[in-house]
Structure 1
Amino acid sequence: MRLAFVSDIHGNLAALDAVIADMSHRKIQCVVNLGDSLSGPLLPLETADRLRNFPWLHVAGNHERQLLRLPVERQNLSDAYTSSQLNPLVKNWLASHADPADPRLQTAQIWPEQFGHDVALCHGSPRSDIEYLLETPEGEAARLASVREIEERLAGLIPENISLLACGHSHVPRTVRWRSKLLIVNPGSVGLPAYDDDHPYPFSKFHRIENGSPDARYAVVEKFGGLWRCELISVPYDHESMALLAEKRDRPDWAHALRTGWMPRV
């Protein structure tokens, strides 16, 4: 089976369409969306309508949870704008792939009917939708997580038979070959190549994620000789149209990120 993983579209319809066009040349058999599909100042409703037209599988991200469970007055700017645009049909669609368990926790999902018994999926880490699995914020940047940190975040939640674990959330395209057997894949972000975050971490009170390119990202995986291999793909698209839209919505931070893949410095 040849799988594609997308994640963190964040309402960027132009980037999503570029990824869909690129996939059409790659003989993809199944596409999995790892969450955070709509939130942002761009085109959340139009993005939802596009996604609903494809037979993709969807994992809920932290922004799906926040859109569905937090009152608007407690939502951040991106979620609040998105909430104002969504109709009941789209909210019901989001709820259909949201995690029904503890809203702050998202254990890895295993769908043997689609992938067999060796693939697991999550948005953040197997224990939380707001935890990076492969990155650790330190100071104002995010570094590759240490062996010990990844071990703690997996925390015995991935069965021994799993050989492919896909995650998103950090927007950083990366693969880690864990303990020789398990391939961990983060496809990066389709729609937002950079952002900053003031959520406190043990080594950081404020950090930036920056990929240094405006391109849309996704991943294709395929099994050879009993092991999964991954291609991390970077797709150029008309990012200026989305940057102009972010400016129109009074989000210059998004506009700069969409144009450059970096966050502005003041």
Structure 2
Amino acid sequence: MRLAVISDIHGNLRALEAVHREIKAAAPDLIVNLGDCLSGPLWPEETAQYLVAQGWPTVRGNHDRILAETPVAELGEPDAFVYRHLSKTAKEWIGELPATISLESEIFLCHGSPSSDEIFLVEDDGGNHFFPSTEREVRRKLGNVTAELVLCGHSHTPRVVFVSERQTVLNPGSIGVQAFPGLTATGSPHARYAIATRQNGRWSFELRAIDYDWAEAARRAEASGFANWAHGLATGFAADAIDS
């Protein structure tokens, strides 16, 4: 079995299109999406239409939940931008996404962790940064999830974490956003995704970073009034990290 795993698109349609082209060439059995689909000053409605048309198994990210459940007057600036640009169909689609998905008994999908879309599964939150969780902490946050392969996103950081001979956690990284001030900085603007392959009862992984037109994405952010997003989209580094 071969899975293509994507996450944290954040409305970056150009990155999604490039990743999908490469995935189609690899011909996996299934593509799964780990959420935070639209939030960002890029192409939210167009990304929603693209995802609805594909029909991939998709879990709700924390920003998907915020868009669906928070009064528009209480939304932060990027999410308020997204809400203003979404059709009724897109809003309904976001609102119907499940928090988790189990594929048979061996694969479990969540955005952050099994219990919360805001808790990092394989990292600990240090406030303005995060750091890798201990083995004990990962097991605690997994709770009663016993699936062989647990798929999570949220931290935008590609990782494979070997919990035991019977369980592995995969974070494919983010398709659309490679830098958040004080939190994430992958160090390059390449779009991230992963391929997971199960053969002879064991999983192996390919963490992929691919080229796309990130200059266009940066220009789109600036044109939308979010120049603070442009540097991260173009470089993979947060602007505050460069300036400090």
TM-score, normalized by the shorter chain, greater than 0.5:
yes
**What stretches of structure 2 of length at least 5 have no aligned partner?**
none
1:130 matched to 2:118? The reply is yes
CA distance in structure 1 between the aligned counterparts of 2:237 and 2:127, rounded to whole angstroms: 17
Residue 239 of structure 2 aligns to a residue whose secondary structure is: coil
Partner of 1:229: 204
Partner of 1:54: 54
1:180 matched to 2:165? The reply is yes
Residue 125 of structure 2 aligns to a residue whose secondary structure is: strand
CA distance in structure 2 between the aligned counterparts of 1:178 and 1:258, rounded to whole angstroms: 32
Partner letter of residue 247 of structure 1?
Answer: E
1:14 matched to 2:14? The reply is yes
Deviations 1:53-99 (A, max 9, x none): 21311111111110010001111111100000111111112223244
Number of aligned positions between the proteins: 241
CA distance in structure 2 between the aligned counterparts of 1:153 and 1:74, rounded to whole angstroms: 30
Partner of 1:41: 41
Partner of 1:203: none
Residue 17 of structure 1 aligns to a residue whose secondary structure is: helix
| 2:102 aligns with one of 101, 110, 116 | 110
CA distance in structure 2 between the aligned counterparts of 1:94 and 1:244, rounded to whole angstroms: 26
1:264 matched to 2:239? The reply is yes
- Residues 139/85 of structure 1: CA separation in 2 closer, same or farther (3 Å cut): closer
Contact 2:139 2:163 in 1 (8 A): no
More helix by share: 2
Partner of 2:153: 168
CA distance in structure 1 between the aligned counterparts of 2:31 and 2:152, rounded to whole angstroms: 14
Q: Give the CA RMSD over aligned residues.
A: 1.3
TM-score (normalizing by structure 2): 0.94
| 1:218 aligns with one of 193, 198, 202 | 193
CA distance in structure 1 between the aligned counterparts of 2:201 and 2:136, rounded to whole angstroms: 26
Partner letter of residue 171 of structure 2?
Answer: N
1:248 matched to 2:236? The reply is no
Deviation at 1:140, TM superposition (A): 4.5
Contact 1:163 1:227 in 2 (8 A): no
Contact 1:243 1:255 in 2 (8 A): yes
TM-score (normalizing by structure 1): 0.87
CA distance in structure 2 between the aligned counterparts of 1:21 and 1:53, rounded to whole angstroms: 15
Deviation at 1:163, TM superposition (A): 0.6
Deviation at 1:139, TM superposition (A): 6.7
Deviation at 1:29, TM superposition (A): 1.5
Residue 58 of structure 1 aligns to a residue whose secondary structure is: coil
CA distance in structure 1 between the aligned counterparts of 2:165 and 2:235, rounded to whole angstroms: 35
**What stretches of structure 1 of length at least 5 have no aligned partner?**
100-107, 197-206
Partner letter of residue 3 of structure 1?
Answer: L
CA distance in structure 1 between the aligned counterparts of 2:33 and 2:127, rounded to whole angstroms: 30
Partner letter of residue 222 of structure 2?
Answer: E
Query: Equivalent pairs: percent with the same residue?
Result: 40
1:192 matched to 2:177? The reply is yes
| 1:152 aligns with one of 140, 148, 152 | 140
Deviation at 1:250, TM superposition (A): 2.1
